[in-house]
Structure 1
Amino acid sequence: MDSAADRLAAGTERRKRKRRRIDDTPLTDFVQPGSWIAEASGRIVRAALDAGHLELGPASDCNVRDNNRAARDAATAALLAASPPADGDSSPTPTGFRCPALHARLIQFRGQPVWLPAKARAQLGDVRDVGPYLSGSYDFILLDPPWQNKSAKRKRTYGTLRHDELLSVLPLGRLASPRGCLVAVWCTANPGHLQFVARQLLPSWGLTYLATWYWVKVTKHGEPVRPFDCPHKKPYEFVLFGGPSSASVPRDKVFVSVPSCVHSHKPPLSELVRPYLRDGAECMELFARYLVPGWTSVGNEVLKLQHDSFYEPTSHESLPS
């Protein structure tokens, strides 16, 4: 992303290429084509503009050229400032956190101020190692796996998991509620990953593939962050659902938001899935990068975005006593 923005900012010219033919073929037989996703998200964007949730007018030429570098630089600086001191342990011993209160609490962890949301629970550690520390019976489990891709391999900026590792290390069988568990998996626009989730991963847990949802990323003006027909990267990601065949989940659902400038920071799905869960449902996220009120979050980055510096203070009158 940065390298592409640098080329744009420098005005690098490339030789003209022959106009390519747009291919609108769906990535798999169970997802919609880009044109369908574009049309559905366009209706949502128009409604959001009318309601004042997005800003009218196109993005500035400066923001287009530098790919919103100011926001990305600010995110990088904030994450560095919030990082705990290096202790030489790249795979920390699993550590548990819990906030039993009805309001958020500020704690100290490794010398850093960290917020725990109301009724939130967390297990900090590599998902491959925390299995023995996990317990409970969950009605909904969300996964955001660190998928292997060419960019991650080249940059080596974060660890990834192979398909066979995902099949072997996740203890969903003993965490799923006997009443029936709904599972959702974030997935990039990669046909191999999509097929793996629907045809292998979900069935390995005794689940039936149920639905695909689409997260479309837009600018604050409602424009897709890149063209829908871009051959390399798409302006959307997928959420694949599995569960009992009797579960009622919309087959194709589109939701739209302005993406975070923090890498791999997905929007919370808690409100979107609530209508399809029982009252008081127990929910868990694996490979989580932040905490959600009332949820159990697991991963080696669960506190990544909980640092006090990421939050704005409220008035004293609004703070719980």
Structure 2
Amino acid sequence: MEDSYQQAVQNQSYVLKGEVFKFSEKEATMEGEPRKRKRRKANAAPDVSAEEIFDVKHMQESVTKLLEVCPLRRLSISAAENIDVNAIVEEPTVFPKFHGQNPSTSPVVTTFVGRQFLIPPKSVFYNDDIRNLSNILPNGEKFDLIVLDPPWRNKYIRRLKAVRTELSYQMLYNEDLAAIPLDEYIHEKTLVVIWCTNSNIHHKAILETFLPKWSLKLLAKWFWIKLNDRGSLVCPFRDVGQKQPFEHIFIATHQDNVGFRFQEEFLMSIASIIHSHKPPLFELFKKYLPTENPRCLELFARYLYPGFTSVGLEVLKLQDIRLYDLQTKRPNE
């Protein structure tokens, strides 16, 4: 899946620097060590479902079999230049509400709030609160593919927010997410893809609240298996409730659509060292979309992708030009 990070135009392409995927020796060691389990209060009921236990066991068995057929190896990434990726991402910048676009077929580099950002071709973006979606997007606009990576409430972000407010994004309650009028932007053959953590509470919210509210039905649930640059899992499989080396991808469509058939899939890729940085999914779904130039929307976007309309409070966060290498290809390559 690493090639999907590439933003290519004619004989030039911008590729995220190798440091974005470079785990330090310390990080690799820490990720590989099992964590000490906290003692649960005597009267506290375990927040664990049979579905969660099944998911972890099923995933571990499936990945083990997969690795027997295709053993992991140390994966190559672009040469490191010893830049501090997290320092760039965490650089405090106040973005106002704004709307931008690049209607051309070539990427452009623009200066905004004192920094330079890479704007991919055929991209439209709104730096605004998703809860204003009805006022942001034109009425009646429909999309063929909609991707959501919601800021799920979790302990890590709450701890981060308590220490350094400028480094944490705005978490939303599930009630806020359910209130998004997503059904206004889907047609009968729209594919909706939702990234989700391993929380059973959030899974239930998707299946029992979000999908019915948006007139959607579940097609399949995929799993993203996260590797480090050494070709190993970012952490071992652990007991339910602890950090796992995978995340969930829920795939849905309009409840009246009978044309799609999906099965369970396992996606493996090198994970970014930037928190909550997900790999682009367009290349995996474009064959299911109705046209060669589909209309695509990403909500809670933290980076831009060619051909997408992106909405979120951090749409340019990972477009800082310092995170990219410019590669020039020869005409015959």
- What range describes the TM-score normalised by the shorter chain of this pair? 0.7 to 0.9
Aligned residue-pair number: 281
Pairwise CA distance, 1:24? 11
**8 A contact 2:49–2:200 mirrored in 1:** no
1:111 aligns with 2:114: yes
Query: Corresponding residue for 1:27?
Result: 52
Query: Corresponding residue for 2:175?
Result: 164
**8 A contact 2:150–2:300 mirrored in 1:** yes
Do the aligned partners of residues 74 and 234 (structure 1) sit closer, same or farther apart at CA in structure 2, a change above 3 Å counting?
A: same
Pairwise CA distance, 1:230? 3.8
**What SS does structure 2 have at the residue aligned with 1:26?**
helix
**What SS does structure 2 have at the residue aligned with 1:76?**
helix
Pairwise CA distance, 1:255? 0.1
Query: Corresponding residue for 1:54?
Result: 75
Report the Cα distance in structure 2 between the residues aligned to 1:26 and 1:46, rounded to whole angstroms.
Answer: 26
Residue 204 of structure 1 aligns to which amino acid in structure 2?
K
Query: Corresponding residue for 1:144?
Result: 149
RMSD: 3.5
Pairwise CA distance, 1:25? 4.9
Pairwise CA distance, 1:131? 2.9
1:133 aligns with 2:143: no
Residue 131 of structure 2 aligns to which amino acid in structure 1?
R
Report the Cα distance in structure 2 between the residues aligned to 1:301 and 1:274, rounded to whole angstroms.
Answer: 25
Do the aligned partners of residues 311 and 239 (structure 1) sit closer, same or farther apart at CA in structure 2, a change above 3 Å counting?
A: same
Report the Cα distance in structure 2 between the residues aligned to 1:72 and 1:140, rounded to whole angstroms.
Answer: 37
Pairwise CA distance, 1:36? 3.0
TM superposition score normalised by structure 1: 0.76
Residue 52 of structure 2 aligns to which amino acid in structure 1?
L
Q: In the alignment, which of 220, 228, 245 is matched to residue 219 of structure 1?
A: 228
1:36 aligns with 2:39: no
**What SS does structure 2 have at the residue aligned with 1:309?**
helix
Do the aligned partners of residues 122 and 41 (structure 1) sit closer, same or farther apart at CA in structure 2, a change above 3 Å counting?
A: farther
Identity rate of aligned residues, in percent? 31
Mark the runs of 5 or more structure 2 residues left unpaired by the alignment: 1-23, 40-47, 162-167
Pairwise CA distance, 1:311? 1.2
Mark the runs of 5 or more structure 1 residues left unpaired by the alignment: 18-22, 56-69
Do the aligned partners of residues 308 and 14 (structure 1) sit closer, same or farther apart at CA in structure 2, a change above 3 Å counting?
A: closer
**8 A contact 1:26–1:33 mirrored in 2:** yes
Pairwise CA distance, 1:229? 2.6
Residue 196 of structure 1 aligns to which amino acid in structure 2?
A
- Encode CA deviations 1:55-105: one digit per residue, 9 max, x unaligned: 6xxxxxxxxxxxxxx999922212245x53x4xx7xx32x11111111111
Do the aligned partners of residues 42 and 258 (structure 1) sit closer, same or farther apart at CA in structure 2, a change above 3 Å counting?
A: farther
1:186 aligns with 2:195: yes
5 Å-filtered alignment, 1:217-296, equals 217-231=226-240, 232-244=242-254, 245-279=257-291, 280-296=293-309
By relative contact order (CA 8 Å, sep 6+), the higher-ranking structure is 2
1:312 aligns with 2:325: yes
Residue 147 of structure 2 aligns to which amino acid in structure 1?
L
Residue 288 of structure 2 aligns to which amino acid in structure 1?
Y
Q: Which runs of 4+ in 1 moved over 6 A?
A: 70-73
Which has a greater percent of strand?
A: 2
Q: 33-42 vs 198-207, which deviates more?
A: 33-42
Residue 27 of structure 1 aligns to which amino acid in structure 2?
E
Query: Corresponding residue for 1:210?
Result: 219
